[in-house]
Chains A and B, each alone.
Chain A
Amino acid sequence: MSFTWFRTVFLAGVAVFFVFPSCVFSQMSHVVSGRIHDAETGETLIGASIRLQGADAVGTRTNNYGFFSLTVETGMQVLVFSHVGYQTQEIPVNLTKDTVLNVNLGHGEVLEEVVVSQSALQGNIRNPQMGVARVDVNEIKHIPVLMGEKDVLKTIQLLPGVLSGGEGSSSFFVRGGTGDQNLILLDEAMVYNASHLFGFFSTFNSDAIKEVNLYKGGMPARYGGRLASVLDISMLDGNKKDVGVEGGVGLIASRLKIDGPIVKDRGSFMVSGRRTYADLFLKLSNDEEIKNSQLYFYDLNAKANYRVDDKNTLFLSGYFGRDVLGYSNLFGFDWGNATGTLRWNHVWNSRLFSNTTFVYSNFNYDVTIENDEFNFVIASRIRNYNLKQDFQFFPSNKSTWRFGVNVLQQSISPANIDANENTAVNSLQLDNRKGMELAAYLSHEWKPTNRLRLIYGLRLNNFMLFGPGTFYTYDGEGDAVEGREFGRGEVVQHYLNLEPRLSISYQLDNQNSIKLSYNRNTQNLHQLSNSTSSLPTDAWVMSSNTIKPQLADQAALGYYQNFAGNRYEFSMESYYKHMQNQLDYRDAADLQANEHIEGELLFGTGRAYGVEVFLKKREGRLNGWVSYALSRSERQFDDINGGSWFAARQDRTHDASVVGMYQLSSRWNLSATFVYSTGNAVTFPSGKYTVDGRTLWYYTERNGYRMPDYHRLDLGATWESSIAKRFTSSWTFGIYNVYNRKNAFIIDFREKEGNPNATEAYQIALFGIVPSVTWSFKF
């Protein structure tokens, strides 16, 4: 039944690559294909540019595995290979047949201006993909951050349209969406909970990361499953030439990375770990209970790759991280993610590249309570197995096809209580939930003229919720009306969604372009949280007979300009997003260990729109960027605020960041970040009354008030030892919140001490001025 469309799409995909070749290969041309690597480490380069000299329009970029394929006319040709931050290479080739060309790009001498070809710098103008931002991991090492823990999730918050989840938080909101509407991928594995320690640090140890791409709109058809954004993070493959050791000691954590060849130039490995040591200070306490307490987190990233032959490469990568909190022997709480990715790259021929991926991802938490009265464990888990087959087909230098299929099996085991017989708590076992998403996509990147480029595509998603278990329907009050028993493997509910994606760029000249995009995204996994900060215990639910898939349609229009010899990059994007089947909660919703959790939900619509401006200075001693977004994000629910539109909590009218980095000397680099944003929309009381000696607050409207504006200045300085030596080290000094601004984290209301009849408002600020220092080394 539901497999019919699946088969159709697959056959269509197969047809494309068998039929197309016969009609486009008639010209006198040949294919140059291969991979581009970093000359020093052998790491493959993602998004590097390959162009034909003298014909700028003929060109392509490497994919996520550093692979490219370009069709070029027969004869003597010069190919220009370039990448931002690398020296350009020109390679003459005499094309008489299809040719494989593997290229190594070097960084160039230190402090010498790296000559990057103009065409690599114009990628942002040409690329039809809009709403995308690439974060350079080398760039973020100078940006000052809280407690000196450099963090990609905090860096992306400095981009326009990406809002911080809160003071010091690694969680983020994109274009008016919620935190659970971001798809966060680490080597293609979905990461369920991307933060440590209630959000203050992300799970991504930047030592282990090669490349980060954030899609805010116009998502490519190969991604699906979330409404607001895709954050695609690739881990480093490991040095293919030499063994390297890199590490650091910071205020919060220490880290160590080792990478090197397994077999020189054929395979390499990378292992990177990080652990915090705040708990070591607890050991110093005189108090026995504190001494026996735990408080730490750690991350472990590991990756290995092996090139079997020119056509086959295998990758195995994994992540394991955990937070552990414990108070004496009475209370324990730990949570974390584990992911594993096995990939097989196969080059079928110079025009067809394929990647087969098997992914495992797991997030779970355990709470253990053990004392005189209580002895029980609360445990919850969410897990998926994901099999993906992706093809990339390059029939000509004007056209690239991508197509593939994806089978995602997901299961949720909600918070269950396992209690000892004699304890004062009952065991509680809720039904597990199982779902499967079958997806297929097809997209075509096409350059019909030198100026016009487009990517259009379609993604089909079929979600199925399976038994066994009891599934309820709910009335308007959220009370369960009827429960129906489903057997194992029985389909409880299925949703089929068609997601069109389109992105067009039109180049006005070499320096200017306009782009247009439209995309539809759907989401079948929802995280429930009625608190202001995200907790690891927030429950996950899948679409069901009660919960419909969330759906977003986004249209965007942008203008892009490079100027002053591509040293400056400017962009302005505006968007409008309409969201259906959004979730909110009934008053005092019980979201923990509740069999009828779906009855606590309200469903409504959302809209978000805004303008984002970005100006970046890419090179020179002083570089950095300014970003600003003017936006609105609103929701409408029949049962909230009498059905009228209200501001979403993350609706911040103005959001601006300024990032500056200055190379003072060969040793010293200075940096500064300033952020400003309108406060969150919040619910405050507009009156009060008293019952049984307690003052109660009278609320008249959801999110009718604003938190005070947020602003903060951070400074950083990095000293690096001479890079000429084999052993190099650096010191990074940082000051978070330099002018000690007391940004309100919470505003609450209370009875005045000594006069319970009178009331007052008070605020809590989390971080005042916080200095940090980190020592890093490399050899």
Chain B
Amino acid sequence: MMNKGYRYLIGIWFFLVAGCEEVIDVNLKDATPQLVIVGEVSNRMEDQDVIISRTVTFDQEQPFDPVSGAIVTIHDGRGTLLELTERAPGRYSRRFKGEIGQTYQLRVRVEGQEFTATSRMPEPVLIDSIGTGVRNIFGEEQKFISVKYGDPVGVANYYRYLWRVNNGPRKAIRITNDKFNDGKYVNEDVTDFDTELVTGDSVTLWMLCVDKTTYDFWNVVQANNPGTAAPANPPSVFGPGALGYFSAQTVAEYSVGIQ
């Protein structure tokens, strides 16, 4: 869509100016560590995780600084209060299955502060077909995962994609919405500019249907590119005291062999 057009545009632009790139040293300030809370509830029977951490300085080799000792509960909207236990430093879990259409409330008590957030699990949209796609940009072949699905008409839908390529880490790659294609049969090219897919790669792809606040979070992350005049933190459902989001989401998992 618009994005696709812009991608071509950016391609042409970089082709034109063929800039030179080098790694440099930038003297960045060390911000006071800020809490980060990321909670997810899915429609699968699995460990539902709430990860609590702190930001670290740019130079730190390990970007994850876990926060232990928090009290974490999820209220399922039917009067059940589920308590999560810390299975690993900063990782608070409980095994249960979320329900579509249900609104969940997360409550986190940590270091004398309390944070709450709610999220409603949207209706799932399932992929009809998935396969390998190829495009040719300025003589270079680029492979991607081609995903087809029917977007439900009349409702705002938000889609999030994660993948694992071969035995690599599970990684968030893309967020989309149906602003320009509500109700259409959508053909989405899923790719990540940092990863080059080759024949024989095995990819696990997760397609998530998320709510608007989760979309807003990831959309800001995605929109912060080098050409952004004012990059910013994604909006937080927890208010100014903590970064992060809470997402009740449907998850569908697919396996693809790259051809």
B72 contacts the other chain (CB 8 A): no
Complex contact A290–B139 (CB within 8 A): yes
A93 contacts the other chain (CB 8 A): no
Known contacts A533-B227, A688-B63; A425/B232 CB under 8 A: no
List which B5-23 residues lie within 8 A (CB) of chain A: 5, 8-9, 11-13, 16-17, 19-23
Known contacts A417-B180, A531-B229; A691/B172 CB under 8 A: yes
- Looking at A378, A689, A700, which has the most chain B CB atoms within 10 Å of its CB? A689
A68 contacts the other chain (CB 8 A): no
List which A750-775 residues lie within 8 A (CB) of chain B: 751, 755-768
- In the complex, what distance in Å separates the CA atom of A592 from the CA atom of B180? 11
Complex contact B2–A593 (CB within 8 A): yes
Complex contact B19–A745 (CB within 8 A): yes
Partner of B25, one of A197, A761, A764: A761
B80: A residues at CB distance < 8 A:
none
Complex contact A693–B169 (CB within 8 A): yes
Complex contact A688–B23 (CB within 8 A): no
Known contacts A327-B8, A367-B5, A746-B226; A687/B57 CB under 8 A: yes
Known contacts A289-B136, A761-B25, A765-B19; A692/B220 CB under 8 A: no
- In the complex, what distance in Å separates the CA atom of A403 from the CA atom of B223? 49
Partner of B221, one of A684, A696, A704: A696
B88 contacts the other chain (CB 8 A): no
Complex contact A683–B20 (CB within 8 A): no
Number of interface residues of A (CB under 8 A): 79
A678 contacts the other chain (CB 8 A): no
CB distance from B205 to the nearest CB of A (A): 14
- Looking at A290, A330, A699, A744, which has the most chain B CB atoms within 10 Å of its CB? A699
B231 contacts the other chain (CB 8 A): yes
B45: A residues at CB distance < 8 A:
none
Produce 1/0 per residue, B128-156, CB < 8 A to A. 00000000101100000000000000000
B42 contacts the other chain (CB 8 A): no
- In the complex, what distance in Å separates the CA atom of A705 from the CA atom of B231? 12
Complex contact A687–B33 (CB within 8 A): yes
Produce 1/0 per residue, B192-226, CB < 8 A to A. 00100000000000000000000010011101101
Known contacts A198-B13, A369-B4, A699-B232; A685/B28 CB under 8 A: yes
Complex contact B231–A757 (CB within 8 A): no
Complex contact A585–B226 (CB within 8 A): no
- In the complex, what distance in Å separates the CA atom of A699 from the CA atom of B31? 9
B113 contacts the other chain (CB 8 A): no
| B interface residue count range (under 10 / 10 to 19 / 20 to 34 / 35 or more) | 35 or more
Partner of A325, one of B9, B31, B182, B224: B9
A766: B residues at CB distance < 8 A:
17, 19
A417: B residues at CB distance < 8 A:
180
Known contacts A289-B136, A331-B5, A687-B30; A764/B21 CB under 8 A: yes
CB distance from A702 to the nearest CB of B (A): 6
List which A520-540 residues lie within 8 A (CB) of chain B: 529-533
- In the complex, what distance in Å separates the CA atom of A684 from the CA atom of B181? 34
Known: A689-B34, A747-B26, A763-B21; 15 extra A-B contacts, CB below 8 A, are A290-B139, A378-B5, A424-B1, A424-B181, A426-B184, A588-B219, A593-B179, A649-B230, A688-B58, A692-B38, A693-B172, A694-B221, A697-B231, A699-B231, A765-B20
Q: Which residues of B contact A (CB under 8 A)?
A: 1-2, 4-5, 8-9, 11-13, 16-17, 19-26, 28-31, 33-34, 36, 38, 51, 53-58, 60-64, 136, 138-139, 162, 169-172, 179-187, 194, 216, 219-221, 223-224, 226-235, 243-244
A-B contact pairs, 25 of them (CB 8 A): A197-B16, A198-B13, A290-B139, A327-B12, A378-B5, A424-B181, A424-B184, A531-B228, A584-B230, A588-B219, A588-B223, A593-B2, A683-B230, A684-B28, A687-B56, A688-B63, A689-B34, A689-B54, A690-B53, A694-B171, A696-B221, A697-B224, A755-B61, A762-B22, A764-B226
